[in-house]
Amino acid sequence: MSTSESKRIVVWGTGYVGKMVIAEVVKHPGFELVGVGVSNPAKVGKDVGEICGLDPVGLAASDDLDALVALRPDALVHYGPTAQYADENIRVMSAFLRAGVDVCSTAMTPWVWPGMKQNPANWIDPITEACESGNASCFTTGIDPGFANDLFPLTLMGLCGEVRSVRASELLDYTSYEGDYEDEMGIGRSPDFTPLLEIPDLLIMAWGATVPMIASAAGIELDDITTTWEKWVTPTERKTAKGVINPGEVAAIRFTINGIFQGRTVVQLEHVNRIGLDAAPDWPAGSQDDVYRVDIEGSPSISQETAFRFTDGSGRDAAAAGCLATGMRALNAVPAVNALPSGWVTALDLPLIPGVGTMR
């Protein structure tokens, strides 16, 4: 542990999220950036400031995993790739955990709830063993799955005497989104194309971890988890950041992941992702554009919408704001994760994290 009040951290990953977080870290009094790990050979040896569009920070990016572990930081804050690259994520995180360094990550979102039965053993066992070996802790978060459908609904449920159902929704326009939505979600594909996430088991594993988490937090065990999937085909051409979606192709999708208890849906995750705000006009939308929404039917019933925005004149969109919030959730959790016993950490283990040092 650091002897100063600030936490010494290594950041792994200088992609979209990592760059934004590093820009916050270098001016944050609560954290000292002592190392940055990258997997792209073209970035190795470059000043981290140059990589992130900042002034030089006097720290070179490295792909030397052993050297970064040897820095003995208080935590690795890991912004690696998705679970599609599970082996590489496990390799990096395990090395730090075995050395006694706690890990806070946004990469392996099925680990938001490690006990989810869809998590394969070869994803879980190496981290469990590394935590035990190094007496370290591993926390994974995201926005969805993540705090938009664990922290938000669970906090609001604590205001109720009875909760008959809780739904957490992502209601986003993907026009400016540059991630892989063609193969994963079928957006921009023919309606007869079956995207990966339309397969129920894959959808539950990739996006559904917070459904059994919420049930567990409420003291029940679900009888089943089901899914639904709908597609909306555009009659007109739609321009996106990735190109053009032609008439007759999918321009909006809506899916749900449903936690069933005693014959009824008690926990539901819902996604409505559109290309253009006018797409799928009959499907749910927020009172603002691009929001995360929680609806609780109970005593009392509660509705909450959360919008992420930049108001600094940078022109960055709502998706970028949500990505920064995701990264900062992992970073700001470091002191709390350091204070917990070793092993897996979930949102249910963390105290309130108000963001010490953010007001300055």
For 176-213, the pLDDT digits (tens) are 888 789 999 999 999 999 999 999 999 999 999 999 99
**pLDDT class of 3 with cuts at 50, 70, 90:** very low
Pick the CATH number of 7-141+333-349 from 3.40.50.2000, 1.10.3720.10, 3.40.50.720, 2.30.30.230: 3.40.50.720
Q: What percent of the chain has pLDDT over 70?
A: 99
* Span 44-55, pLDDT tens digits: 999 999 999 999
Q: Which are the contacts of 209, defined by CB distance < 8 A and separation ≥ 6?
A: 109, 110, 111, 112, 113, 116, 145
The pTM assigned to this predicted structure is 0.94
* Span 136-172, pLDDT tens digits: 999 999 999 999 999 999 999 999 999 999 999 999 9
Q: What pLDDT does 4 receive?
A: 53
Structure token pair of residue 329: 């959730």
CB count in 10 Å sphere of residue 299: 10
In the chain, where the domains are located:
7-141+333-349, 147-311
Number of residues in the chain: 360
**Residues 294-302: what's their mean pLDDT?**
98
CB count in 10 Å sphere of residue 273: 21
C-alpha 225/C-alpha 211 separation (Å) is 8
| 306 closest CA partner among 168, 209, 160 | 168
In this structure, the dihedral spanned by the alpha carbons of residues 329, 332, 334 and 335, taken in order and rounded to 10 degrees, is -140
**Residues 294-308: what's their mean pLDDT?**
98
Tabulate helix, strand, coil % of the chain (nearest 5).
30, 25, 40
Structure token pair of residue 78: 């890991």
- pLDDT at position 2 over 60: no
Element (H, E) at 292: strand 291-299
Q: What percent of the chain has pLDDT over 90?
A: 95
**Residues 266-288: what's their mean pLDDT?**
97
